[in-house]
Structure 1
Amino acid sequence: MNVVILNHYPPVLVDYAEWLSDFVDTFTLIIPEKYKEYFDSKNGYNSVITLKNYFNDNELSEVISEVNSEEKITHIISISEKDTQRAALLREYYGIRGQKMLSATLYRNKFWMKRKVADSGFLVPSFKLVHNTDEIINFIRKYNYPIILKPISEADSIGVVKINEEKELVALDIEYPMLVEEYIECKNMYSIDGVVINGNPALIVAHKYHDKPMENQNKTSLIIVEQLLPGDPMSLRLVEYQKRLLKEIPHEAKAYCFHTEVFHTLNDKIIFCETASRLAGARIPQLIKLSYDIDLEGLNIQTQLGIRNGFPINSRQMPEKKVYSILLPKKLGKVVSIPDEKEIPFNWVVSFSPLIRINEVISEKNGSTDVASFLIISLDIHEDLNIKLRELQTYLDESIVYEKICSS
């Protein structure tokens, strides 16, 4: 077995050495050069190739060709949305089993994704692939403001813009082609997350966004993602929705994770937003592990490689607590202080993961999950979330300190 893993995530998000601890000599990890000190032999990685320009296909194709010439590659693993199509193309080129290009395109390209989902009978926002401002204006004439403008192949709400009036449209510097959509007024947005094994969904878990992701970029207070209990009526409804959706989009891998986002409208309809053949961000995988005692990404990779076959039978089927992922937005300025996880005085805070560093200067935010820190909290089912959030917000405001930077 000769496995290649494409990975641009930092070590805090992935643990291939643990997931493949008994097979450390069978895989080669390809990473950005900036992470080379973290993925080394001391940390359980015996074969690592670093790329100066990770997303340069010329660099990637050269190293893949070299690895394959030494021993035929049997598997190409990628868990990031940005690597989905690259990995699929390489599998087809080298005749390797796994997700192929059509599936990767339907999961990655938002235009073809929505076209496929709409053609399969699901409700989707009205949409159009546009190549110039005139096409956007024609769309607005038909559907009115506000509209949503988004890149066809980005994640984490990067590049997504809500346009409310003409002057906002005129002010934009747009890189075409783009996808334009009607704006959906909704009560809530939800994500549906889980894993498929041997063609069947092994676990589907629903999560509620307390805020719409694209509106988080300018938010300063805590952003909340709530895991729904399995018996929650909306959870039951979303699980069935996801089962239908999985049947419509092809995927050739023995195992794969999924992440779907939907709108729940004011008149109780579920409207498709988008889907991906990877796990969610916002620490949703950690929520699933906390509730169900399953590391979905590890299970996914191990099943693809034939190391495991099937779903762990000892997994908890009913969560014992209500769990939430808390995103703390960044503030502009120089980071002066950050608390240590051990200093946080609340026993219901399960983990605290800062993504900023002392003396780091924050000058901008990129996307809905470009945040200062993630926290996971676990509460008894009947505990009041709002009381806990007020306590947590006060503590974080006092303990994470920024120094204002004066512009010259």
Structure 2
Amino acid sequence: MDFAYSDKVQALRATLEAFMDENVYPIEREKYHWDHDPAHQWTVWPGLAGLKAKAREAGLWNLFLPHEYGEWSPGLTNLEYAPLAELMGRVFGASEIFNCSAPDTGNMEVLARFGSPAQQERWLKPLLAGEIRSAYAMTEPDVASSDATNVATTIERDGDEYVINGRKWWISGMMDPRLAVLIVLGKTANADRPRHQQHTQILVPRDTPGIEVVRPLSVLGAYHSPGGHVEMRFDNVRVPVENVVLGEGRGFEIAQGRLGPGRIHHCMRVIGQAQRALEYMARRVDGRVAFGKRLADQGSIRQDVAKSFCEIEMARLLTLKAADAMDRHGNKVAKDLIAAIKIVAPLMGQTVADRAMQAFGGQGVSDDTPIAGIFATSRYLRLADGPDEVHMAQLGKLKIAELAALPQR
């Protein structure tokens, strides 16, 4: 196995790192305070559009979309994208500058892989250009949505239209003023189809009558403006039949293609955040003196740094292995490694950030550094795109069957 990045990736990393140094780190605090100021809630930081134009001009655009998407893709593999996503992940919200942020990334993959030419023209092209934002409406408050067969929102055919009724929550991006379209997963019940062909995904323009935002939801006290996360309701929402993606009853087929890349993208970014937390920690303990002794000279501190380094490296290597398996064998074959890194990386990020917070003392739980935000992000990612327990249950079941079938030696 070759652990070295290709010349192409090295060049892109250098360009991206220089772009971050020149354009992203200097405005990090300004954008953070804008996004957390109640006076600016649900409005976009004014400097964002200019930065996105610069990133596109620099060739740092849509890097997430793998090469198999042909004309829509800049040509990278998942393995090549991983170190780039790690760099973007170091700053909250930076991925959007490069048009590489969720939920748009997953929605663009759905449209590029499964969308009709008309759907691609209307929605994929403006998403790829960064002109609009999108949302993905799957999770519901009344059922355990980690088993998506429980999703109960109905999508029922009525002549040339489908009618959507139901409740959703934790729908990211709904408060963004640029939001133009949702992909909604709902039930199109049919007794003649098996259990995993009872659901459909359908495109719903944001301005369709009957869409109601019930309330924004906070995440550990933060509203994640400008996009936020919401509880919402569909009340007799009508859309044309041609808005169905791929076909009625194909919802799970689409979901499996969408969620794998999204999960590993989260992990790539978490590794960048954990690496940054470790760097902050190292600088802190190197310069801080307590009781006449540098913190860096304390054995327990050195152990925390050493363990953090080991854990980040292990997670990084597992991420790269999963990305390589996706490239070589496809997302379905790589599902065990994708599940494994989704279990490992967010918990690793939470653990490393916790150690860094402790080294900073009171400052560590403030917003003077990004560490508390890294801790919070890692914590909620242990639920996003499926909780740890679900991934462990599925991975455990898969590995028991696989390993038990091996001859005893």
The normalised TM-score by structure 2 is: 0.29
User: Which structure has more helix as a fraction of its residues?
Assistant: 2
